[in-house]
Amino acid sequence: MTKECCGPGYASPAEAMQAEREKLLYTVALYVGTGIEKPDYLATVDVDPDSPTYSSVIARTEAGCVGDELHHSGWNACSSCHDDATKSRQYIILPGVRTSNLNIYDTADAKNPVLHKVVSGDDIKAKTNLSAPHTVHCLGADIIISMLGDADGNGPGGFLHLNEDFEIVGRWENDLGGMKYNYDFWYQPRHNQMVSSEWASPNTFMPGFDLEDVAAGKYGQSIHCWDFEAKKVVKSIDMGEEGMIPLEVRGLHDPASNEGLFAATLSSNVFRWYRDDANEFQIEKVIDIPTIDVEGFPVPMPSLITDILISMDDKYLYFANWLHGDLRQYDITDIANPKMTGQVWLGGMLGKAPEVNGVEVQGAPQMIQLSLDGKRLYATTSLFSSWDNQFYPGMKEKGAQMFMIDCDTENGGMSINPDFLVDFGNEPNGPARCHEMRYPGGDVTSDIWM
């Protein structure tokens, strides 16, 4: 495999640098929806078990304004720049879904990031008619970001193109085809392919979840396959009730592969996407989580798969069930026939683990991140402020949490680490939510190997 410009696989000193940077973990932390009028921030968490500040927030770097709703993030450089020694993952981009601002942080001092620049959401709207930035991937020296809406918050959104100086180039895509909505994406230039997914328009999901919006067709149920070089959709697959709200898309890390997995969140299914012998995009359902009848819930409760990831060696799939409250591990050595090998419970609406490591869990496993060696899985419990307040109203007053799960990479299996807990209910300015996580220098969900 070709290695990233500062990712795994290098000999010293790069390997040593990566090992040092895996002692820290960044997560977005936010006050939107809590009633606290403070900017969201990038939280630097000490994950070095030999450190006296282990399992605590050691730095907090505020965003440029109040009300961003920091959500997902990404790096300025990745595997696309493997042949350019001048590029490194120094800058992390934290989009504000509500303001459309892009907060650019300089992580040259990994323990003390500083806010380098803010790209105005108003400028993005004016120049591209796009809003609500979500997934960030580097593309050589440049950056592309999935945008969930137009300037007025309607679908289908599109893709924003920035240059290496974080200047707005314009829209990246040439043809959206029949896309109604946008969300996540994964690309592999070696195979000239990209796969993108759908959530809903910002005007639909931002106020909270309304079941009637599903029946009205206001949530996505399609996956989109792209000609990456032509920047256009070549095939859209409508999955109907089996594929409601397809969110996170993950490709296998082996650059020779042309397949991966995605989860249909509301339908609680996992699908494999691949190219067949005729080089045509295809999908097939490989995991189905049954709904559960829960007293007081208006419909049979879906598990609500909200995040998935694939280990760097492509052996294990992990995903989070935000309503049921469990994290699962599957052996995907045979990707068409995953086998469950581990499960743990953290919060959720089934009452199976209301308290973990001495704290009342607010929410349930939502975003996850895995160490490069596959042995440490981190989970945070906040989804989106308005959805948190709807399904787990206690989080507003008590904050969200980050947990660590120990993973057996040889035989499979998972267990909650009893010595690790970051409770964002105890933050200096009041209880905060925590969402996506990134390792300085690169991680499992940002690494696309070339």
Q: Which of 20-29, 144-153, 177-186, 203-212 has the lowest mean pLDDT?
A: 20-29
Domains of the chain: residue spans and CATH: 14-438 (2.130.10.10)
Rounded to two decimals, the pTM is 0.94
| pLDDT of 1 strictly over 60 | no
Torsion of CA 41, 42, 48, 51, to 10 degrees: -50
Residues 253-279 as b/e (b if ≥16 CB within 10 A, e otherwise) read: bebebbbbbbbbbbbbbbbbbbeeeee
> What are the pLDDT digits (tens) for 110-147?
999 999 999 999 999 999 999 999 999 988 779 999 99
Tell me how far apart the alpha carbons of residues 249 and 445 are, in angstroms, rounded to a whole number.
10
- For every residue of 270-323, DSSP letters joined together read EEEEEE-TTS-EEEEEEEEPPPB--TT-SSPBP--EEEEEE-TTS-EEEEEETT
DSSP 3-state of 221? coil
Tell me how far apart the alpha carbons of residues 210 and 342 are, in angstroms, rounded to a whole number.
33
Write down the pLDDT at residue 186: 94
**Mean of per-residue pLDDT scores for the chain:** 93
The stretches of 164-306 forming alpha helices (DSSP H) are: 202-205, 211-215
Write down the pLDDT at residue 442: 76
DSSP 3-state of 331? strand
% the chain with pLDDT above 70: 93
Are 78 and 87 in contact by the 8 Å Cβ rule? The answer is no
How many CB atoms neighbour CB 52 within 10 A? 7
| pLDDT of 5 strictly over 70 | no
| pLDDT of 4 strictly over 70 | no
Q: Which of 28-32, 80-84, 111-115, 367-371 has the lowest mean pLDDT?
A: 80-84
Tell me how far apart the alpha carbons of residues 448 and 186 are, in angstroms, rounded to a whole number.
8
Write down the pLDDT at residue 341: 98
> What are the pLDDT digits (tens) for 302-350?
999 999 999 999 999 999 999 999 999 999 999 999 999 999 999 999 9
By C-alpha distance, which of 25, 103, 39 is closest to 432? 39
